[in-house]
Amino acid sequence: MRILLTNDDGYHAPGMAVLEAIARQLTDDIWVCAPSEEQSGAGHSLTLSRPVRVRQHGEKRFSCTGTPTDSVMMAVGRLMPEKPDLILSGVNRGANLGDDITYSGTVSAAIEGALAGVPAIALSQVYATEGMADAIPFAVAEAWGEKILRPLLDYSIPPRTVININFPAIAPDAVKGVRITRQGFHDYARGTIVEGTDPRGYPYFWFGLHGIEHSPAHDSDLEAIADGFISVTPLQLDLTHDASLAALRSRFTAMGE
């Protein structure tokens, strides 16, 4: 089995080393292509206004100056002799839960894999303390990663679907198990905007994060993490709101199809 590893925290991020250690319990045929620098919050963005440069770090190991999406496109379309059997994205430094999934470069890298027809899984390690930077503990991901991925290897992930996995911020032996969940949602205003002045006297603005107020619904990814479970969420790429189709068609009937 050939596995492509990527992330949004960057090629040298600690979570990439964790992901590779997990993947090597599944296969020896591992490729890596990840952003050369952190791309957290990049979502499913694609670099179009400047060239993308690739650097090789060893056999089957590459970094890319673009986004997580660029990295997957470059690996699948140019660097690898044939498509991988599986794409693993992560292990992200921080949660990818609820609405925040839409911002996630980690999940978006998996989405790009699904668009290319490759089964793809995103993995994220929740952490409880702000300001930890690269020092956050990946102990749960390390202890449980292979156990969670193994049952998914012979599962036929439906086309245009990805699996989103989140590990709770607790000790590995405190994990209560695994829950198959829905994507939750937050009912709070988006994070803070910090204003400052640069050395030349011009104002700048920095988007910040703060404590998140959750409204965990039953069977949601937010609830599972809050209860000490690993969350496994199937996400579909079809964003169509089916319930609105008939109502909208009725409003435009006179215009024809």
Q: Which whole number is the average pLDDT over 6-25?
A: 97
Identity of residue 191: G
Residues 181-191 pLDDT 10s:
999 987 655 56
Q: Rounded distance, CA 53 to CA 48, Å?
A: 12
Torsion-angle region of residue 118: left (phi > 0), alpha (psi -120 to 50) or beta?
beta
- The overall average pLDDT reported for the chain is 92
Instruction: Note the pLDDT of residue 137.
Output: 93
Q: Is domain 2-187+216-255 annotated with CATH 3.40.1210.10?
A: yes
Identity of residue 41: G
Q: Is the whole-model pTM more than 0.75?
A: yes
Residues 46-95 pLDDT 10s:
999 999 999 999 999 999 999 999 999 999 999 999 999 999 999 999 99
In the structure, what pLDDT confidence band is assigned to residue 192 with cuts at 50, 70 and 90? confident
DSSP per position, 159-224: TTEEEEEEE-SS-GGG---EEE-B---B-S----EEEEE-TTS-EEEEE------B-PPTTBHHHH
Instruction: Note the pLDDT of residue 114.
Output: 98
Q: Domain coordinates of the chain in residue numbers?
A: 2-187+216-255
Instruction: Note the pLDDT of residue 131.
Output: 55
Percent of the chain with pLDDT over 90: 81
Contact indicator for 107, 68 with CB cutoff of 8 Å: no
pLDDT at 126 over 70: yes
Q: Which whole number is the average pLDDT over 200-228?
A: 80
Contact indicator for 36, 7 with CB cutoff of 8 Å: no
pLDDT at 239 over 60: yes
**From 70-79, 233-242, 248-257, the region with the lowest mean pLDDT:** 248-257
Residues 108-125 pLDDT 10s:
999 999 999 999 999 999
State the angle between helix axes of 14-23 and 139-149 in degrees (0 to 180), rounded to the nearest 10.
30
Instruction: Note the pLDDT of residue 69.
Output: 97
Helix/strand/coil for 237: coil
